[in-house]
């Protein structure tokens, strides 16, 4: 399954390079253009990121998100600046299909575990961003990738699995927004080790070959952002590539 990604700042479609706000590229089409384009190709879900909210939870694009979500119910997986239960409830009420929790969940695991109990694992995606060390220690990073936690991806999954963790969006931060290809070894290893998790591979996809290799390595859900925005391949080609595997 291909999941197109749309990042927004002040309502405009953008991409960051490795998550850096000082390396931003703005696209001249608006969000609705991409929504209509993806709907035409029968996309089941779009990954939408509020980068203003991710940077400062007090700057969430609430009015804009409300408008988009209510017009397109049960279509978006959305993240950025989600700190408390009220944020999750608000987005679900607006019409979000799934809500992505990341830094806040890792800063307070006990609180996040309650979210899985309250809202159910089907509507929550846990975002785990990792910095890969030379010894292949997958260190989890948070707060816009500025803070290293010292804990591993494996530890986080083991902590949340008893509470129904099902959807995990995993990003190798060195790959995000680079079009340099995904970390295939990472996804092959974790998909084999945690077969109860539906991983979403994110970061670096630049070609149909990348999609094909990810699928062969056990990844069924692939987030594609910059490659689609910059027409490296079409959504139709990407979907056909998935169907072949």
Q: Would residue 7 show up in a list of annotated catalytic residues for this protein?
A: yes
Structure-block tokens of residue 156: 């986080």
Name the one residue in this structure whose structure tokens are 């749309």: 6
Q: Which of 50, 87, 129, 210 is catalytic?
A: 129
| Strand 46-50 relative to strand 138-142, pairing | unpaired
Q: Would residue 129 show up in a list of annotated catalytic residues for this protein?
A: yes
For the chain, what's the residue count? 245
Structure-block tokens of residue 181: 């290809």
3-state secondary structure of 50: strand
Q: Is the Cβ–Cβ distance between 228 and 8 less than 8 Å?
A: no
Characterise 191 by phi-psi region: left (phi > 0), alpha (psi -120 to 50), beta (else).
alpha
Those residues with Cβ within 8 angstroms of residue 44's Cβ, 6 or more apart along the chain or in another chain: 1
| CA distances for 217 relative to 183, 201, 205, angstroms | 11, 11, 14
Residue 86: Cβ within 10 Å count: 9
Q: Which of 7, 52, 172, 176 is catalytic?
A: 7
Structure-block tokens of residue 66: 């409300």
Query: End-to-end CA distance of the chain, in Å?
Result: 11
Q: Is the Cβ–Cβ distance between 29 and 37 less than 8 Å?
A: no
Which residues does the annotation mark as catalytic? 7, 129
């Amino acid at each position: 399954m291909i999941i197109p990604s749309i990042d927004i700042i002040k309502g405009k479609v953008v991409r960051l390079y490795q998550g850096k706000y000082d390396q931003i590229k703005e696209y001249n089409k608006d969000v609705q253009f991409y929504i209509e384009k993806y709907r035409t190709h029968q996309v089941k879900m779009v990954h939408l990121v509020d980068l203003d909210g991710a940077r400062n939870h007090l700057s969430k694009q609430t009015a804009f998100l409300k408008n988009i979500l209510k017009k397109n119910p049960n279509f978006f997986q959305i993240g950025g600046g989600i700190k408390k239960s009220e944020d999750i409830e608000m987005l679900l009420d607006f019409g979000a299909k799934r809500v992505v929790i990341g830094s806040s969940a890792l800063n307070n695991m006990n609180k996040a575990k309650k979210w899985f109990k309250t809202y159910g694992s089907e509507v929550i995606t846990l975002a785990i961003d990792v910095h890969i060390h030379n010894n292949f220690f997958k260190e989890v990073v948070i707060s816009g990738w500025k803070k290293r936690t010292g804990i591993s991806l494996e530890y986080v999954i083991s902590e949340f699995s008893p509470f129904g963790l099902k959807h995990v969006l995993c990003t190798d931060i060195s790959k995000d927004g680079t079009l340099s290809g995904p970390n295939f070894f990472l996804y092959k290893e974790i998909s084999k080790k945690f077969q109860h998790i539906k991983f979403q591979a994110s970061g670096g996809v630049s070609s149909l070959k990348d999609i094909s290799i990810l699928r062969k390595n056990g990844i069924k859900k692939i987030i594609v952002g910059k490659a689609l925005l910059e027409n490296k391949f079409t959504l139709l080609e990407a979907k056909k590539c998935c169907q072949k595997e």
